[in-house]
Each structure stands twice: as structure tokens, then as C-alpha cells.
Amino acid sequence: MENVIILGTGIAGLTAAIYIARANLSPLLISGQEDGGQLMLTTEVENFPGFPDGINGQDLVANSKKQAEKFGAKFKTDIAEDFNPIDGGFEISLMGGDKIQTKTIIIATGASARWLGIPSEEKYKGRGVSTCATCDGAFYKGKEIIVVGGGDSAMEESLFLTKFATKVTVIHRRDEFRASKIMQDKFQKNENTEVIWDSVVEEILGDGKVVTGVKLKNVKTNDITEFKCDGVFLAIGHIPNTKFLTGKVDLDKLGYVKADTLMKTSVSGIFAAGDVQDTRFKQAITAAGSGCMAGMEAEKYLAEKE
């Protein structure tokens, strides 16, 4: 039986792993669907302490993984599908068919990009509609793009996309951004960015193969207009990856795991860390911090049991 299984290899899971591995408890991390988590999809991380010149998100993940491995953390590429209590712990069922027994679990499955939920989006997914500028931006050299959203991600993705696209237009459903002042300032200083306020994407238009534009609705006037573009990037927030936890641990009404200040969930022996339980901060550093806390608490739980 494993001591600790950590579900998720984002910065929360990796930080928990560093702490648990340093306590000689050799945790096992299960990658989940998005190995490395959201940092794999970001460019420069400028607000993680210790990196005055910023650090690339993928490098931060790779370094943290190396650090956890150095102390004895083990990694498995698979996705947790279910778990059930057993004598002395839990049994986790993985999509690949394996069943693994463990004394404790840390849920650090993070959150995945939110989609608009309109039929045309489904049709053009991967053919002009994307949720990842870092992954797909390079395909839009010399093209025109829209970014949907008004938060820090929308600002960050837009700025990144101006490296390739001739023009990036942000479509936001309100008349002011949610993004932090510093990100808004950077966005507004860039000559290749524009904004269309008070508008939502009603439909993604295309020629059957690729995106050619969008149908926009002004939410104040109800006017419908068509806007030509070659790509649509969505930056409208995230949804916690907790589907497999329904009925197993307490979730809030938005689907986030309910964890107390010690990162304990409603089930004794199961802890949560990172964006899967964070409705407020959602920062790399807070994810890492909660990973540290969950790791230390899991370690304490095991010590008290033995």
C-alpha cells in the first residue's frame, strides 16, 4: 500500500510531493489529463518569488518535478477515475485499468479551461478555436485573432498572441476588465490590441474547414454584427476537475472541493490543494503554498495513525 497518492502534477501536487518525499514517504503522483497543469500553458510567470526576471511556466514545472524526483517521488501517467474506502485507506481506480491502494490521498487535480458551450465552437475546436495561446499561437502568423474574456488570462494571452497575429481584438461581455491593473496597462500599451466591450460571441463562423469570423451580440443593444477573424482564443476562466469526486468528498455548488484551513476534505485521510479547492486566489504561488500545507498535513496524519 502506498503512503500518499497525489492526484495531479501541477505546481500544487509537485510541491506536496517535495514535502512528502523529503519526509521519506515516497509519494506516488498520478499525472491526470493535463500533466504539469496550467503552468504548462502559460508563458512567463512574473510573480513567483525568487525569479526577478520571471520564469517560463514549463521550466517551473520541470524544475519542481526534478526536485520531487530527487527526494524519491514516483510518477505514473494515468487518470484517476474513482476511489473507494478500504481497510487502512483507499483504493484508487485508474483509467488504464490499474487499481492502487494508498493510506492517504491529496487531490490536486486543478481546473481546466472553460468553453463557451455553443455548437459552432465544437465544430471548429482545433480548427481555429483554442483555449491555449502558448500551444496554438504560432499557427496565426500574420492573421487576425479574437480573444474572449476580460481577466488576467485574456490580457496575457492577447499580448502573447501579438507576437504572431497582426491584430488581436478582445471581446468582453462587460465594459470594464476584471484583469489586474498591471496586466491591463500592458495590454493597453500594445499597439496591436483592440477591445470590443459589452459583447458576447453568439456563433463561430467558418467555411466548414477553418474559422472565418464570429457573430457578436452587443448585450446592451442586442445588435448582432459579424466580425472577421482567423482564430478564436477563449480565456473565460476554468472549471475544477472534480467530476470523479461527486458523492465521494464534499464539493461546493460550483464543483470545487471543500477543504478547511488545514487542507482537509470532508473525508478523513483525503486532502486537497491548488485550484481544485481555490475559488479565490488561483495563483501559482498559492497553489504551491496549499500543496505544501496538504503535504505536511498528510505526513502528520500518517504519523498519528502509526
Binding positions for ligand NAP, rule: CB under 6 A: 47, 116, 148-154, 156, 173-174, 178, 200, 235-237, 282
From edge to edge, which strands make up the β-sheet containing 167-171?
129-130, 231-234, 144-148, 167-171, 193-196
Catalytic residue among 35, 78, 132, 292, which? 132
Handedness of CA 276, 279, 280, 282 (dihedral sign): positive
- State the nearest-atom distance from the C-beta of 296 to ligand NAP, in Å: 24
Cell digits for 280? 479565490
> Is 136 annotated as catalytic?
yes
Q: For the residues of 184-205, what is the DSSP string, one character each?
A: HHHHHH-TTEEEE-SEEEEEEE
- The total of other beta-carbon atoms located within 10 Å of residue 84's CB is 10
Q: How far is the CB of 236 from ligand NAP (least distance, A)?
A: 4
Q: How far is the CB of 283 from ligand NAP (least distance, A)?
A: 6
Buried b (16+ CB within 10 A) or exposed e, 130-140: bbbbbebbeeb
Choosing from 82, 135, 175, 260, the catalytic residue is 135
Q: What is the DSSP string of 3-59?
A: EEEEE--SHHHHHHHHHHHHTT---EEE--SSTTGGGGG-SEE-SSTT-TT-EEHHH
Q: Specify the residue, 110 or 149, whose C-beta has the smaller distance to ligand NAP.
A: 149
Shortest distance (Å) from residue 20 CB to ligand NAP = 26
Nearer to ligand NAP, 69 or 202 (CB): 202
Q: Which residues contact 246 (CB under 8 A, 6 or more apart)?
A: none
C-beta closer to ligand NAP: residue 91 or 121? 121
Q: Which of 136, 152, 230, 278 is catalytic?
A: 136
- Is 292 known to be catalytic? no
Cross-strand partners of 217 = 200, 224
Contacts of 89 (CB under 8 A, 6+ apart): 1, 101, 102, 103, 104, 269
Active site residue 229: no
Cα-Cα-Cα-Cα dihedral sign, residues 117, 180, 251, 10: positive
Measured from the CB atom, the residue of 116 and 270 that comes closer to ligand NAP is 116
Q: How many CB atoms lie within 10 A of CB 122?
A: 12
* Amino acid in the structure at residue 130: S
Residue 252: how many CA atoms within 13 Å on its side-chain side? 12
Q: Which residues are catalytic?
A: 132, 135-136
